[in-house]
Structure 1
Amino acid sequence: MYWGEGQLIHNGKYKIERQLGGGGFAVTYQAIHTQLNRRVVIKTPNLSVQNDPDYPKYLKRFKKEAQMLGECCADSHPHIVQVFDFFEEDGRSCLVMQYIPGESLWQFVQNRGALPETEAVKYIRQIGSALVEVHKKNIFHLDVTPPNIMLSFKPGVSNSGKAVLIDFGIAGDMSPPSTLSRSFGNKAFAPYELVRKGIRHPTVDVYCLAASLYYAVTGQRPTNSFDRKFDNEELVPPQQLVPSLSNGVNQVILQGMALEAKDRPQTMQEWLNLLGSQQAIISNKLSSDMGVDYRNLEKLLKANLWQEADEETTRLMLKVAGREKDGWLDVESINNFPCTDLSTIDQLWVKYSNAHFGFSVQKRIWQEVGGKPDIDMKIYIHLCKCVGWYRNSGWLNYDELTFNAKSPVGHLPGGLLIWLWISFEVGIERETTETKWWNIISSLSSRLAKCNIQCD
C-alpha cells in the first residue's frame, strides 16, 4: 500500500506530503520532519519489487548500500544528496534524504531548451567532482542521468546554479538486469554492459555522465547503446545537432560515450580532466558569469553579418539580464549587468569591426561630446547624430539603421536602443522618449566605466 498525503509515519516523526516518483526498484515521497519542520525525501522499495522472489536479497543490499551512502555523505559534499535517517515502517526499509528544491536537469531542459555549453559543462563538472569522491569509496551510482541531477538556484542571485546528484546508486547497484532495463535513465543514458551484464565499474558512470552532458547541450537523448551495439546504429555527434558546440567538448562527450568500456577514460577524474581543459579554453575566450554561450555572436561578427549580430546581441543581453519576456533593458538591469558579459560582448564587436563598432566606442563618443549624468538634451542629441541614430530631426526606426562598415562609427550595436525608442512611443513607458533614452545611455556609459571597459 502506498502512503497518502498527510499520512504520519515513524511514530509521527514524518508527515507525507506527496509522492515524487517511482523507478525500477524504489518509490520516493516528499515529507516534512514534524519536529524540525524540515522538508525531506523518503525513499522506500517499490511494492512491485517486493513480489520478486529475490526481494530478501535486494533488501539486504538496500540496507548495506544505505550504510555505505551514509558514509559517503559524511563529508557533506555540496553536490551529493545528504542522508539523514534510516528506519523500518510497515515492513519497509526507508531512507531519509535531503530535499533539493528546484528542477531536475531533465525537466529544466524540457522546459527551457538545451543549455549553453559553458553552463552545461559547469553542472556536469560539479556532478563529476561528486562521483570522484564516491568512487574512492568503491560505490558506483550507475544511474547518473538527467532525472537524477537536480538543479537548484538561489532566488535573485545570478550565476547561483548548483547541481546535486540524487537517487544514489542504490537502485542501480542492487536491482536485477530486468528491472534496470525498464528504468528511464538506462534506456538512453547507460552503456549496454550495465543493463546486459550488470557490470559495475567507474566507466559506467563516465558513460552516463557524458550522455547527460550530451542531453544538456543538445536537448535530445543520445542513441541507445543497445541499438549501437547490436543494430549498428551510429551515435549522432552532438556537434552535428548543435553546430556552435566546440570541437573539444564534442570530442570529450564522444570519448566518454565510447561504446566499449576499454575505449573510454578509465576513471571519472581522467574524463573530468579532459572536460576541464576544454572548459578553460572556452572560458578564457568568451567568458560569461551567467553561463551564456557567445560563440554564435562571434561567428556572425566574424562573417560581417552586422544585422544578425546586432539581433543576437539583443537576445543575449536580454537573456543575461533575465528580461527576455520584457523585451528591453531598464536602468536597473543595466546598472547590474555582469561586467564579464558586458566585456565579452564589447570585445567581440570591437575586434571584428576593427574598433568601428562596440559599446566602448559609443562610450568614448559620449565622453567626447560632453556626456554626463545631468540631463542636457543638446549633448544627448549630439551623441545620437554622431552615431547615426538621429537624422533629419528624428530618431531612426530599427529598419533604418545601416548594417555595414560604411555606417558612422559607434552606429552598432543599436538594436536595444532602437527598440527602447519604439517601446516608449507606443506607451510602454510614460516618460518622454528623450529622458528615457538619456537615462539608458548614461547608465550604460557609467556601467562601462565601472567595469573598466574602454576602447583602446
Structure 2
Amino acid sequence: MSYCLTPGCQNPQAPDNAQFCLSCGSPLLLKQQYRPLKPIGKGGFGRTFLAVDENHPSKQRCVIKQLYLEGNQNTLVIKKATQLFHQEAARLNELGKHPQIPALLGHFEQQKRLYLVQEFIDGQTLQQESQQKGVFNETQIWELLRDLLPVLKYVHDRNILHRDIKPANIMRCRKDGKLILIDFGVAKVITDTALYRTGTAVGTPEYVAAEQMKGKALPASDLYSLGVSCIYLLTGVPPLDMFDAVENRWVWRDFLPQGTQVSDRLGRILDRLVKSTVSQRYKSVAEVMQAIEATPKTPRQPQQAAPPPSVNFFTKLFRPQIGQIQRGNLISEAGVDYSRLQYLLAAGKWEQADKETWTVMCHILRKSPSNYLQTGDIEKLPCEDLEIIDRLWVKFSKGHFGWSVQKQIFELVEEDYAQFCDRIGWPSHDARSPYLKFSLSAPLGHLPSRSWIGGYQWWRHAAIMASKLDRCQIA
C-alpha cells in the first residue's frame, strides 16, 4: 500500500500501482521517485514517513520528513522559511557524509510543501532500548561516550550544533551496533524561529542547558544535553526529578538503582558535563575526549556516601520533595499534558506560564479555559496534577515560586491572609488588581497568581489550597 501525504486526506491509503490518491487526487509519488508507505512520526509542523525509493535497484527504504507551513502565514514568512529550509538541508547534506549520521538523499518542494529524504536506519533509539532492557551500566555509558563524541566533534568542527541531543535522538544500528545521531531538527529550527529575532530556543527542555533555552546555544550546550542523557540512561528517572533547584545542582547519584555504583572517574566527567554555568562546563568535545583518555583507568572503588549538604532554614523549608512522577512526557492520569507549562517555565516566561497554569486547571476540571474557579473546585483537583504543577514551578524558579512555597509562607504567618498577601506582594482586598510582577525579582511565593479564583469567598483560597496540599503530602 502507498500513503497519501496530504494533510487532512480522509482515506490516505491507496494501492501500490496508483499514481494519485483515490481520495483527494494528490500525487502519491514524490519527485516521481519516493513512495510513502506509512507514517512513523508527527509534530506540530511536520510529519515523518517510511518510504521506498522506486528508482533504486533494491527498492531501498528511506525516511521522508514533510514540513508544512500554516496556510494563513504571509508570503514573506513562507519565503523566509523556505530559504532557511534549503540552507539547513545543505548543512545536513554535508553532515550526512559521516557514517554515523543519516545521509541526506534529497530535499525539494512539492505542492507548497517542503520535503527531506534521509537514509533509513534499521535499529532502535536508546530511549526505546532503555525502556525494554532497563538502565545502562557504567560500561555502557563509557561505550556511548567513546562512540558518540567523535560524531559530535565532526558536527561541531563544521560550525553546526545539534541542539536536541537526548536518548530518543540516538539510535543503535541493528547491523553493527554503532550509535547514530539523528534528527537535527530542520523543521523545528524553521517553524519555531521568530523570523525577526536573534535567538531561538530549540530543543527538549528536560535536556536543554539554560543558555540554549535563552536562544544562545554553544558547543557546550550540546555537551550538557549529552551529559543529561547519560544520567537519565544510568537512572531511568526523568531529568526534572534529579535536579535540586534550591541547591542548583544535579543529585543524580541519589537515583541510581539499588546496588549500583558509578566510579569517581565517570562521576567527575558527568558532573562537569552537566554544570549549570557554562564557564564550569567542558568547552569542546576535544576537551571531553582528552579527559576520558587522560584519566587513569584505575579499578573501580566502592563509592562512599557523600556528606549531607548544609541546610539552612529556607533550603529546608522550600527544598523540592521527590514525588511519584515517573513519566517523562508529563501527561497525568487525568489526561492533561504539561509539556507546554514545562517549556514556558524553563524559558522563564512567567506571565505565559501563569496563564497556562489557569488553563490546565480548567482542563482538569472540564471547564472552558479562563473560566473562574470556585474555592470548592480546589478540592476536586487530583493530587498528582497539583504535584506536577507545583514541582515545575518550584524547579524552574529555583524554589522562588510554587504553591508549596505559598503554603509554607501562609503557615509562617499563622494563616493570617492579610499578612500572607503582604509577604508575597499581593493586595489583600482585590483578587484581580494589576499587581503581578513576572520576574524572579518578585517577592518569594508571588506566583502562581490567584487570577483564576472567583466567587464571594475567593479570599479563602489560600487556606483551602494549603489544606489540600497537606492531604496530598505536597510540601
With the shorter chain as reference, the TM-score category is 0.5 to 0.7
Q: CA deviation at 1:251?
A: 1.8
Q: CA deviation at 1:78?
A: 2.1
- 1:270 paired with 2:270, answer no
* C-alpha contact (below 8 Å) 2:224/2:275 kept by paired residues: yes
Q: CA deviation at 1:228?
A: 6.3
* C-alpha contact (below 8 Å) 2:173/2:179 kept by paired residues: yes
Q: Which string of whole-angstrom CA distances, capped at 9 and with x for unpartnered residues, describes residues 34-90 of structure 1?
A: 1210111111215569859845433321210111121232xx322111111111122
Give the aligned length.
Answer: 276
> 1:216 maps to which residue?
233
> 1:190 maps to which residue?
208
Q: CA deviation at 1:125?
A: 2.8
> 1:237 maps to which residue?
252
CA, structure 1 residues 18+178, in 2 after alignment: closer, same or farther (shift >3 Å)?
A: farther
Q: Distance in 2 between matches of 1:194 and 1:172?
A: 14
SS class of match (2:121)? coil
Q: CA deviation at 1:23?
A: 3.7
- Pick one of 181, 197, 202 that aligns with 1:165: 181
Equivalent pairs: percent with the same residue?
Answer: 27
Over the aligned positions, Cα root-mean-square deviation in angstroms equals 3.5
Pairs within 5 Å for 1:382-421: none
SS class of match (1:223)? helix
* C-alpha contact (below 8 Å) 1:151/1:163 kept by paired residues: yes
- 1:19 paired with 2:36, answer no
Q: Which amino acid aligns with 1:13?
A: Q
Q: Distance in 1 between matches of 2:60 and 2:183?
A: 19
Q: Tell me: higher relative CO, structure 1 or 2? Use CA pairs within 8 A at least 6 residues apart.
A: 1
Q: Distance in 2 between matches of 1:136 and 1:182?
A: 22
* C-alpha contact (below 8 Å) 1:223/1:236 kept by paired residues: no
Pairs within 5 Å for 1:275-424: 275-277=292-294, 281=297, 285=299
CA, structure 1 residues 129+23, in 2 after alignment: closer, same or farther (shift >3 Å)?
A: farther
TM (normalized to structure 2)? 0.51
- Greater share of residues in helix: 1
Q: Which amino acid aligns with 2:186?
A: I
Q: Distance in 2 between matches of 1:277 and 1:172?
A: 38
> 2:67 maps to which residue?
45
CA, structure 1 residues 254+100, in 2 after alignment: closer, same or farther (shift >3 Å)?
A: same
Q: CA deviation at 1:164?
A: 0.1
> 1:10 maps to which residue?
30
Specify every segment of 5 or more residues in structure 1 that has no aligned partner in the other structure, as ranges.
155-159, 287-294, 300-456
Q: Which amino acid aligns with 2:223?
A: V
- 1:205 paired with 2:214, answer no
Q: Distance in 2 between matches of 1:232 and 1:58?
A: 41
Q: Which amino acid aligns with 1:146?
A: P
* C-alpha contact (below 8 Å) 2:66/2:116 kept by paired residues: yes
> 1:392 maps to which residue?
none
Q: CA deviation at 1:259?
A: 0.8
- Pick one of 69, 86, 90 that aligns with 1:67: 90
Q: Distance in 2 between matches of 1:217 and 1:111?
A: 14
SS class of match (1:281)? coil
Q: Which amino acid aligns with 1:268?
A: V
Q: CA deviation at 1:222?
A: 1.7
Q: CA deviation at 1:236?
A: 1.8
* C-alpha contact (below 8 Å) 1:228/1:259 kept by paired residues: no
* C-alpha contact (below 8 Å) 2:249/2:276 kept by paired residues: no
- Pick one of 72, 84, 101 that aligns with 2:122: 101
- Pick one of 251, 271, 274 that aligns with 1:254: 271
Q: Distance in 2 between matches of 1:62 and 1:232?
A: 41
* C-alpha contact (below 8 Å) 1:24/1:46 kept by paired residues: no
Q: Which string of whole-angstrom CA distances, capped at 9 and with x for unpartnered residues, describes residues 367-397 of structure 1?
A: xxxxxxxxxxxxxxxxxxxxxxxxxxxxxxx
* C-alpha contact (below 8 Å) 1:152/1:162 kept by paired residues: yes
CA, structure 1 residues 116+174, in 2 after alignment: closer, same or farther (shift >3 Å)?
A: same
Q: CA deviation at 1:252?
A: 1.1
CA, structure 1 residues 21+124, in 2 after alignment: closer, same or farther (shift >3 Å)?
A: farther
CA, structure 1 residues 147+64, in 2 after alignment: closer, same or farther (shift >3 Å)?
A: same
SS class of match (1:198)? coil
> 1:35 maps to which residue?
55
CA, structure 1 residues 263+233, in 2 after alignment: closer, same or farther (shift >3 Å)?
A: closer
TM (normalized to structure 1)? 0.53
* C-alpha contact (below 8 Å) 1:223/1:235 kept by paired residues: no
Q: Distance in 2 between matches of 1:176 and 1:30?
A: 24
Q: CA deviation at 1:114?
A: 0.7
Q: Which string of whole-angstrom CA distances, capped at 9 and with x for unpartnered residues, describes residues 390-417 of structure 1?
A: xxxxxxxxxxxxxxxxxxxxxxxxxxxx
- 1:113 paired with 2:134, answer yes
Q: CA deviation at 1:182?
A: 9.8
> 1:381 maps to which residue?
none
> 2:192 maps to which residue?
176
Q: CA deviation at 1:118?
A: 1.4
Q: Which amino acid aligns with 1:26?
A: G
CA, structure 1 residues 5+249, in 2 after alignment: closer, same or farther (shift >3 Å)?
A: farther
Q: Which string of whole-angstrom CA distances, capped at 9 and with x for unpartnered residues, describes residues 166-200 of structure 1?
A: 112424544536999998x61211112212x2113
Q: Distance in 2 between matches of 1:92 and 1:46?
A: 5
SS class of match (2:100)? coil
* C-alpha contact (below 8 Å) 1:239/1:246 kept by paired residues: no
Q: Distance in 2 between matches of 1:50 and 1:205?
A: 34
Moved over 6 A (4+): 177-183
CA, structure 1 residues 72+273, in 2 after alignment: closer, same or farther (shift >3 Å)?
A: same
> 2:363 maps to which residue?
none
Q: CA deviation at 1:91?
A: 1.1
* C-alpha contact (below 8 Å) 1:140/1:173 kept by paired residues: no
CA, structure 1 residues 201+174, in 2 after alignment: closer, same or farther (shift >3 Å)?
A: farther
SS class of match (2:80)? helix
SS class of match (1:207)? helix
* C-alpha contact (below 8 Å) 1:25/1:49 kept by paired residues: no
> 2:389 maps to which residue?
none
Q: Distance in 1 between matches of 2:280 and 2:218?
A: 13
* C-alpha contact (below 8 Å) 2:62/2:118 kept by paired residues: yes
